[in-house]
């Protein structure tokens, strides 16, 4: 990202100015579409050049679609695809009399696509205003009396004393402030071998160590709450049911690396999460767990909450920081890593919210107790979530090393309504696809990697025996191409070409496809272009006869 | 520190990039989004090279050197991926770029110039801004390398240009997409000077030279 623009956003932040993106979001929510006058106001308020603001206004999904007096959004995530094959989109278009991405001539109603609303346990999902409706009868309600808030299943843990599926009580921070030096806390987190839960699995202790060692008086902790993976609603549960645990993890990270300010970026597709987090922050301030001189320890730490604007790639850490700065959410080449040069150019820890939610346990009970949670496997526990195709969908806290069969048949009750499992996509859209025949694979980093799959963020999407795997390829590649940030050439052009290869009835030239997958894997700047080939390779390996290869 | 480029040792400063080491060794590797006057960007992936011990090809422009790094500008996988990328770039243009452009030169170096196009699909929309006395913009020739935007930001400081859109639709705009004449452009020509495809040109100057 341009150093000049980052410098300008840093100045805006210092004087308490809103970001350009915040002004643009507010304008679109107020008047339904952006005008040049809105862009000029955003430029003046944020201190950014007008051209820069124009570029920002053309990047984010939330700013692009015109809004009617009623603005309805339909989820086109992978769980909704697995539930209907995509038919719910056309059904809603017909019920509302409005085409996707358009606004009715009289301005009464508009319909836009969104990925993903995190109601994957009750697909298909829809949103009207702040209300998310899903499942049986939702289309009828939206076309008729109006949407109603969908129910969400309770989350559960296989542990008698859950690490993650619990309300935070700040005891980890209390213990650290009274009994551990920052160095000792960093040592515990490193010894616990906590790996990032956002997808890449990078050791959190090492990341923190880089930021702690980086020069600079001001450092930041950023909680990545941009859970964009279609089919995943783990961070939604964490942010909405246990915001204290995430905030406590951030404060602990701040204590360990010497940062006094944290930012949570929560995605706009989870309309409830922001308010819940803001209330949790206010409550923590009242109780003295956030703010200056936390519990008379001399440690200062406070948190602000920001909302995204509809971009999958903003989950990548450099793009996430650009979004927080209010700039275009494009990926930057690393190095420099955010740990050294991050938010507003300052050393920054960027951790997924689930990663941070593990830290209070480590601070309170130590690295050894943490490593003992999953004997003989990756330390700690993992949240996984199951889609609507399962008999008992929901979020579960599980031990690493548990077999996929135990997860899918034991916890999630197998496939619903007498259907059978065809394949799973694990860990998000960049995760490989595991055919039902490999269900005895253990759920862990190395074991899944050996089968071309990954833990990723822990979303488990089942496809039943009726699923057309060529349509799965088309669904995934369309998502990949739509969400490419457009910076690096292989991803920008290559994903569009891959999507085109699977269009309509075209015969797919296998050699050319494999050449393109190599270009994406080895050439792309970030894990988006680099990772999209993984599920396509799985489909080539396990379902070649369904892909229309030539 | 000492590094190795294509088997020859060369001394480079501690903060040198792989691309700087390649140039210091008197070697070259094709680039598209790189301009030595600008901070490395890492978008085009055409400068991919082999690095001993790395899991795959590495972009030379944004990869820092370390002591004793072994760089191979002839690495077959890196060249194959770079050539495939440039073939993809050519496929997004409705017409081939002019022969004298940097893009055409890079395509020739990578052996993909003049080939029968294998990718037939969406191409860039034809749209032109020819109203400025010195600067012309042909959006259909833009490959979103970001060099013009960075020239306006890092060299001129006018901030008259921006990247727009995302994914395949990524492009550029002048001001709030008003064209050169109505924007804060100061007509310095830095964007046209760096453009590798003639998407931005200085037609007035060309006429004078002719």
Instruction: For chain A, give every domain's residue range.
Output: 3-58, 70-143, 156-371, 381-464, 469-546
**Which of A65, A337, A493, A494 would you mutate first to test chain B, the one with the most B CBs within 10 A?**
A493
Q: Is the ipTM of this complex over 0.85?
A: yes
Contact B175 A54 (CB under 8 A): yes
Just give the CATH number of A381-464. 3.10.20.600
pLDDT tens-place string over residues A429-460: 999 999 999 999 999 999 999 999 999 999 99
Which pLDDT value is given to residue A237? Answer: 98
Contact B163 A55 (CB under 8 A): yes
d(CA B18, CA B30): 13
Give B26 to chain A, closest Cα distance, Å.
Answer: 25
Contact B45 A489 (CB under 8 A): yes
Just give the CATH number of A70-143. 3.40.30.10
Facing residue for B167 by CB, picked from A36, A51, A481: A481
Element (H, E) at B141: none
Q: Among A81, A52, A84, which residue's Cα sits nearest to residue A425?
A: A81
Contact B150 A493 (CB under 8 A): no
In chain B, which among 161-190 make CB contacts under 8 A with chain A? Answer: 161-170, 173-177, 183-184
Which pLDDT value is given to residue A87? Answer: 96
Give A104 to chain B, closest Cα distance, Å.
Answer: 24
d(CA A366, CA B96): 62
Q: Is domain A156-371 given the CATH code 3.40.50.11540 in the classification? A: yes
Which pLDDT value is given to residue A506? Answer: 86
Domain annotation for chain B: domains and CATH numbers: 1-122 (3.10.20.740), 128-209 (3.30.70.20)
Q: Using an 8 Å CB-CB cutoff, list chain A residues near B154.
A: 2, 4
Contact B144 A486 (CB under 8 A): yes
Facing residue for B176 by CB, picked from A51, A334, A495: A51
Q: Is the peptide bond before A448 cis (omega within 30 degrees of 0)?
A: no
Q: Residue B171, SS3? A: strand
Which pLDDT value is given to residue B207? Answer: 58
Instruction: Give me the count of residues in chain B.
Output: 210
Which regions in chain B score pLDDT beneath 50? Answer: none
Q: Residue A426, SS3? A: strand
Chain A and chain B share a number of CB contacts under 8 A equal to 155
**Which of B170, B174, B186 would you mutate first to test chain A, the one with the most A CBs within 10 A?**
B170
Cβ A154 vs Cβ A395: under 8 Å: no
Q: Is B88 on the interface with A (CB under 8 A)?
A: yes
Q: Among B163, B185, B181, B184, which residue's Cα sits nearest to residue B172?
A: B163
Q: What is the pTM assigned to this prediction?
A: 0.97
Q: Using an 8 Å CB-CB cutoff, list chain B residues near A49.
A: 159-160, 162, 184
Facing residue for A519 by CB, picked from B84, B143, B157: B84
Which regions in chain A score pLDDT beneath 70? Answer: none
From 3.40.50.1970, 1.20.1440.230, 1.20.58.220, 3.40.1110.10, which CATH number describes the A469-546 domain? 1.20.1440.230
Q: Is the peptide bond before A116 cis (omega within 30 degrees of 0)?
A: yes
Give A492 to chain B, closest Cα distance, Å.
Answer: 5
Contact B91 A497 (CB under 8 A): yes
């Amino acid at each position: 990202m341009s150093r000049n623009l980052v410098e300008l956003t840093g100045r805006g932040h210092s004087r308490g100015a809103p970001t350009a993106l915040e002004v643009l979001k507010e304008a679109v929510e107020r008047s339904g579409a952006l005008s040049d006058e809105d862009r000029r106001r955003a430029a003046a308020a944020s201190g950014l050049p007008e051209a820069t603001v124009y570029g920002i206004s053309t990047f984010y999904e939330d700013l692009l679609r015109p809004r009617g007096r009623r603005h309805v959004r339909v989820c086109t995530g992978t769980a909704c695809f697995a539930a209907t094959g995509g038919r719910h989109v056309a059904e809603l278009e017909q019920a509302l009399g409005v085409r996707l991405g358009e606004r009715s001539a009289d301005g009464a109603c508009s319909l836009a696509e969104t990925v993903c609303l995190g109601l994957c346990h009750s697909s298909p999902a829809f949103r009207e205003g702040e209300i998310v409706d899903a499942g049986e009868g939702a289309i009828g309600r939206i076309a008729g009396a109006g949407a109603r808030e969908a129910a969400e299943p309770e989350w559960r843990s296989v542990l008698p004393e859950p690490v993650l599926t619990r309300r935070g009580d700040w005891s980890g921070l209390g213990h650290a402030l009274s009994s551990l030096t920052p160095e000792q806390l960093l040592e515990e987190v490193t010894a616990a071998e906590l790996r990032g839960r956002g997808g890449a699995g990078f050791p959190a202790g090492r990341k923190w160590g880089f930021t702690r060692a980086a020069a600079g008086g001001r450092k930041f902790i950023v909680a990545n709450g941009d859970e964009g993976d279609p089919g995943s609603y783990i961070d939604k549960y964490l942010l909405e049911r246990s915001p204290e645990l995430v905030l406590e993890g951030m404060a602990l990270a701040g204590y360990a690396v010497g940062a006094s300010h944290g930012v949570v970026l929560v995605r706009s597709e989870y309309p409830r999460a922001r308010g819940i987090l803001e209330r949790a922050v206010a409550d923590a301030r009242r109780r003295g767990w956030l703010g200056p001189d936390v519990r008379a320890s001399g440690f200062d730490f406070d948190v602000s909450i920001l909302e995204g604007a509809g971009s999958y790639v903003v989950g990548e850490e450099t793009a996430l920081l650009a979004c927080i700065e209010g700039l275009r959410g494009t990926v930057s080449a690393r190095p420099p890593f955010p740990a050294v040069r991050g938010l507003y150019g300052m050393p920054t820890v960027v951790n997924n919210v689930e990663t941070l939610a593990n830290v209070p346990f480590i601070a309170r009970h130590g690295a050894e107790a943490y490593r003992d949670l999953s004997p003989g496997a990756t330390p700690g526990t993992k949240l996984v979530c199951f889609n609507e195709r399962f008999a008992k969908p929901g979020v579960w806290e599980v031990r690493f090393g548990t077999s996929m069969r135990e997860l899918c048949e034991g916890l999630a009750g197998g496939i619903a309504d007498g259907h059978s499992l065809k394949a799973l996509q694990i860990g998000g859209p960049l995760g490989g696809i595991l055919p039902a025949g490999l269900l005895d694979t253990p759920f862990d980093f190395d074991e899944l990697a050996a089968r071309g799959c990954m833990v990723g963020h822990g979303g488990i999407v089942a496809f039943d025996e009726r699923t057309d795997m060529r349509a799965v390829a088309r669904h995934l590649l369309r998502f990949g191409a739509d969400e490419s940030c457009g910076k690096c050439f292989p991803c920008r052009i290559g994903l569009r070409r891959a999507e085109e290869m699977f269009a309509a009835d075209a015969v797919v030239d296998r050699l050319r496809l494999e050449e393109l997958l190599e270009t994406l894997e080895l050439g792309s700047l970030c894990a988006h272009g680099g990772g999209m080939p993984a599920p396509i390779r799985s489909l080539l390996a396990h379902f070649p006869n369904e892909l229309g290869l030539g | 520190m000492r590094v190795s480029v294509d088997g020859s040792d060369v001394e480079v400063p501690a903060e040198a990039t792989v691309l700087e080491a390649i140039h210091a060794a008197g070697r070259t590797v094709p680039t598209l989004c790189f301009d030595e006057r600008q901070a490395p960007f890492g978008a085009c992936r055409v400068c991919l090279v082999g690095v001993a011990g790395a899991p795959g090809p590495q972009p030379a422009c944004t990869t820092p050197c370390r002591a004793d790094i072994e760089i191979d500008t002839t690495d077959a996988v890196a060249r194959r991926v770079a050539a495939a990328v440039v073939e993809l770039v050519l496929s997004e243009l409705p017409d081939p770029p002019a022969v004298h452009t940097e893009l055409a030169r890079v395509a020739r170096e990578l052996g993909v110039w003049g080939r029968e196009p294998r990718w037939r699909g969406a191409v860039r929309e034809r749209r032109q801004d020819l109203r400025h006395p010195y600067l012309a913009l042909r959006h259909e020739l833009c490959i979103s390398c970001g060099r013009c935007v960075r020239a306006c930001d890092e060299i001129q400081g006018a901030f008259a240009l921006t990247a727009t859109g995302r994914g395949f639709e990524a492009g550029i705009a002048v001001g709030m997409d008003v064209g050169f004449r109505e924007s804060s452009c100061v007509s310095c020509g830095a964007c046209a000077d760096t453009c590798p495809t003639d998407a931005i040109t200085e037609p007035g100057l060309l006429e004078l030279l002719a």
